[in-house]
Amino acid sequence: MKRLTGLLLLAVILLILPFLFPDNYYVTVVGVTALLHAVLAVSLNLLMGYAGQISLGHAAFFGIGAYTSAILTTRYGWDPWAAIMAGLALTGLVSFLVSRPILRLKGHYLAMATLGLGIIINIILVQGEQLTGGPDGLGGIPTLSLFGWAIDTDLRWYWAMGATMLGVVWLALNIIDSRSGRALRALHGSEVAAEMMGINTTAAKTGVFVLAALIASLAGALFCHQQSFISPDSFSFFFSIELVTMVVLGGMASTYGAVFGALILTFLPELLVVFEDFEVMIFGAILMLMMIFLPQGLFVGLQSFALRWLSRRRAAALHTAGD
Amino acid sequence: MFDQILQFLLTGITVGATYALVALGFAIIYNASDVVNFAQGEFVMMGAMSAIAMSAGDGLPIFLSLPLAVLVTIGVGILLQRFAIAPARGASVVTTIIITIGASIFLRGVALLLWGKSIFALPHFSGEQPIHIGKATLLPQNLWVMGGAALLVLGVHWFFNHTTHGKAILACSCNRTAAQLVGINVGMMMLIAYGLSAFLGAMAGILVTPITFTSYDAGVMLGLKGFSAAILGGFGNPMGAVAGGILLGLIESLAAGLISSGYKDAIGFIILLLVLFFRPSGLFGKATAERV
């Protein structure tokens, strides 16, 4: 029950925001993007934060989900839901096939291999013009409807994306506290030790890799139907890096940290727009400073700071009471 | 057909020589401090851009602006070590990766602010009269790139094997504490390693910019290619990095010429992945066993 309090709090905040700020650009437009990023960051955090497998190519699976759904609905007239399922199936297949050889690699070699995978997929999206529309992108993607309820306004997308995000967070929290979650954390600590305890590390790593890819693919499908237009830029190497940054910024191995990191990294550029030409520079500087001074991540860092402060106050209170 | 292949090989070696210098920079910094420096490509851009800026209009003559640009870039490298890497000592691999990514975004931001989004070029060092080799042609600048890179690589090799400072840096990479105990100034050695790495980047930028041009974001792709080359050769092995760079340049050039120019980068990465699948620690990397 305790682990669901955070989730409940998150749900309440999501629920009241649109009523506090109706038709607010930062809630229903940037907010939807932030929720989407949160879904992606939570999925990447399962792989990176808990299993300790770095991936610099997560945008590839986001892209496969988005493009499969977009191509099947616009070029072949598929029903969006069937197209999303097809996207998930394709992502599952691709991620499963690459997971074995890729996850054998460690450290910087793993980083390089995932980065390469991401770039290869992106190049295919740019070059496969007959199918993907090439660098100009692909437009006219139909929106989704759920039981006859068309998700066709910003606010409705906010609800849809919010529900998805809560679902994914719930899933992540449950996995982490399950047997397989403990297996993942064990292999993060030491793969050899985990194997000694009877954990099938290959299966555990493959499983979490495929799961993270599937969640990203689902996010991609939602993204393409929400935007109705996609281009390869949204699935580039830079976006993969941004996702990693969200996870690390929030605090590795903390699901709420990943959500927090996604929110910050989505809103920060919006706020930095006022600095115009200085925007890029300031963004880079903030990134560096945060990592130098709070290497364990903002969320985790602030959390432990708050806990320390609380306990010190309690100690002080006890002290005065003792006097 | 043979002439065509020869042409691809010549182009490939030129491109590969640039990759090799960037990869060497990656390897040096990684050896010295266990950091993958994603701002390595920005050194290349900084070197070229500041040279261009200093000699623009009625500015300095080129023989002054080039060395000054190299000094500026070395300064950037030292500042990066001192103010971004050193304070974060002991942070995890991913954290340092993000710090260097932050640094690369920062440097790109500075370049964007100073020079805008335009594309710039440096003049060729010794004319643009093509040299014919069979039916293949070569610009004098290609020779500058190859020769310059070869000299720099030899210089780095000599530095690490025959000078006290070079050996001291190697000692730091083997065991930092032990190095400190025998009286090596570890902090100083780190600064030298980053300075050297920035120096190589700036030289690569200056040598190749007459052919390839540069812009504020030119460092991104070069950085990625350099990292790929370093991994291909076996990370942390400087001469492996050089070999990886040349090899990657050749692969890309042949792929562009014989298969498809649009997919050349993809083919480069696919071959890299295949190499990693069969040799998980690169072509010339030592296989490592996990210590339990």
ipTM for the whole complex: 0.88
Do B202 and B69 contact (CB within 8 A), yes or no? yes
Question: Looking at the structure, do residues B112 and B190 belong to the same domain, yes or no?
Answer: yes
3-state secondary structure of B131: strand
The arrangement of secondary structure in A2-279, i.e. its CATH architecture, is Orthogonal Bundle (1.10)
Ranges assigned E (strand) in B209-273: none
Q: Is residue B15 one of the residues assigned to a domain?
A: no
HSE on the CB side for B83, CA within 13 Å?
11
With bands split at pLDDT 50, 70 and 90, how would you rate the model's confidence at A72?
A: very high
Of B200, B216, B232, which one is at a domain's C-terminal end? B216
Ranges assigned E (strand) in chain B: 131-133, 136-138
Cβ burial of B170 (10 Å; 0-12, 13-18, 19+) is middle
pLDDT above 70 as % of chain B = 98
Subunit contact A244:B103, Cβ cutoff 8 A = no
* Domain residue ranges of chain A, discontinuous segments joined by +: 2-279
- Residue B127 to chain A, least CA–CA distance (Å): 36
Whole-number pLDDT of residue A27: 86
* CB < 8 Å to A127, chain B: 260, 262-263, 266
Question: Looking at the structure, do residues B138 and B276 belong to the same domain, yes or no?
Answer: no
Question: Looking at the structure, do residues B158 and B33 belong to the same domain, yes or no?
Answer: yes
Question: Looking at the structure, do residues B163 and B238 belong to the same domain, yes or no?
Answer: no
Whole-number pLDDT of residue A132: 92
Q: Is the pLDDT confidence value at B289 over 60? A: no
Chain A with chain B: Cβ pairs closer than 8 A = 136
A190 touches chain B (CB under 8 A): yes
Pick the range with the lowest mean pLDDT from A73-82, A292-301, B41-50. Answer: A292-301
Q: Is residue B106 one of the residues assigned to a domain?
A: yes
Whole-number pLDDT of residue B292: 45
Question: Looking at the structure, do residues B38 and B98 belong to the same domain, yes or no?
Answer: yes
Do B238 and B160 contact (CB within 8 A), yes or no? yes
- What average pLDDT does this structure show over A209-219? 97
Q: Is residue B292 one of the residues assigned to a domain?
A: no
Question: Looking at the structure, do residues B250 and B115 belong to the same domain, yes or no?
Answer: no
Residue-wise pLDDT tens digits, A35-49 = 999 999 999 999 998
Question: Looking at the structure, do residues B206 and B224 belong to the same domain, yes or no?
Answer: no
A241 touches chain B (CB under 8 A): yes
What's the angle, vertex CA B266, arms to CA B260 and CA B268, rounded to 5? 95
Question: Looking at the structure, do residues B72 and B141 belong to the same domain, yes or no?
Answer: yes
Subunit contact B112:A108, Cβ cutoff 8 A = no
Q: Is residue B43 one of the residues assigned to a domain?
A: yes
* CB < 8 Å to B272, chain A: 112-113, 116
Whole-number pLDDT of residue A302: 83
**Cα–Cα separations (whole angstroms), residue B4 to A233, B23, B134, B246, B250:** 34, 28, 10, 19, 13
pLDDT above 70 as % of chain A = 98
Residue of A nearest to B281 (CA): A109
Of B216, B243, B277, which one is at a domain's C-terminal end? B216
3-state secondary structure of A197: coil
Q: Is residue B71 one of the residues assigned to a domain?
A: yes
The minimal CB distance from B231 to the residues A112, A249, A292 is found for: A112
- What average pLDDT does this structure show over A60-89? 95
Whole-number pLDDT of residue A313: 86
Whole-number pLDDT of residue A323: 57
Rounded-to-integer distance, Cα B95 and Cα A293, Å: 11
Rounded-to-integer distance, Cα B118 and Cα B216, Å: 8
> What's the domain range around B179?
28-126+133-216
Residue-wise pLDDT tens digits, B79-132 = 999 999 998 887 787 888 889 999 999 999 999 999 999 999 888 988 888 998
Quick one: DSSP state of residue B133? E
Question: Looking at the structure, do residues B205 and B225 belong to the same domain, yes or no?
Answer: no
Rounded-to-integer distance, Cα A112 and Cα A56, Å: 8
Rounded-to-integer distance, Cα B78 and Cα B194, Å: 6
A135 touches chain B (CB under 8 A): no
Question: Looking at the structure, do residues B148 and B74 belong to the same domain, yes or no?
Answer: yes
Q: Is the pLDDT confidence value at A68 over 80? A: yes
Which range among A105-109, A195-199, A306-310, B246-250 has the greatest average pLDDT? B246-250
Whole-number pLDDT of residue A322: 60
Q: Is the pLDDT confidence value at B14 over 90? A: yes
* Structural domain total, chain B: 2
Alpha-carbon torsion A250, A256, A258, A264, what sign? negative
Q: Is residue B75 one of the residues assigned to a domain?
A: yes
Longest pairwise C-alpha distance within chain B: 63
Q: Is the pLDDT confidence value at B235 over 90? A: no
Residue-wise pLDDT tens digits, A222-249 = 999 999 999 999 999 889 989 998 998 8
Do B34 and B88 contact (CB within 8 A), yes or no? no
Q: Is the pLDDT confidence value at A30 over 50? A: yes
Rounded-to-integer distance, Cα A99 and Cα A105, Å: 10
* CB < 8 Å to A298, chain B: none
* CB < 8 Å to A57, chain B: none
- How does the average pLDDT of chain B come out, rounded? 91
Best mutation target, B82, B97, B222, B283, to test chain A (most A CBs within 10 A): B97
Ranges assigned E (strand) in chain A: 145-146, 149-150
Residue of B nearest to A53 (CA): B94
Subunit contact A116:B272, Cβ cutoff 8 A = yes
* CB < 8 Å to B263, chain A: 123, 127
Whole-number pLDDT of residue A1: 52
Residue-wise pLDDT tens digits, B194-230 = 999 999 999 999 999 999 999 999 999 999 999 999 9
Question: Looking at the structure, do residues B145 and B176 belong to the same domain, yes or no?
Answer: yes
- What average pLDDT does this structure show over B71-78? 96
User: Please, which residues 154-183 of chain B have a Cβ atom closer than 8 Å to chain A?
Assistant: none
- Residue A244 to chain B, least CA–CA distance (Å): 8
Rounded-to-integer distance, Cα A289 and Cα A11, Å: 31
B262 touches chain A (CB under 8 A): yes
Best mutation target, A288, A289, A290, to test chain B (most B CBs within 10 A): A288
Which range among A17-31, B88-102, B142-156 has the greatest average pLDDT? B142-156
Do B284 and B237 contact (CB within 8 A), yes or no? yes
Do A210 and A92 contact (CB within 8 A), yes or no? yes
Ramachandran assignment for A176, one of left (phi > 0), alpha (psi -120 to 50 degrees), beta (any other)? alpha
3-state secondary structure of A252: coil
Question: Looking at the structure, do residues B58 and B170 belong to the same domain, yes or no?
Answer: yes
The minimal CB distance from A109 to the residues B98, B260, B276 is found for: B276
- Residue A300 to chain B, least CA–CA distance (Å): 14
Q: With b meaning 16 or more CB within 10 Å and e meaning fewer, what string describes A1-33? A: eeeeeeeeebbeebeebbeeeeeeeebbebbbb
Q: Is the pLDDT confidence value at B185 over 50? A: yes
Quick one: DSSP state of residue A149? E
Q: Is residue B47 one of the residues assigned to a domain?
A: yes
Whole-number pLDDT of residue B106: 95
* CB < 8 Å to A237, chain B: 224
Q: Is the pLDDT confidence value at A94 over 80? A: yes
Of B169, B191, B216, which one is at a domain's C-terminal end? B216
Alpha-carbon dihedral B248, B250, B253, B256, rounded to 10 degrees: -70
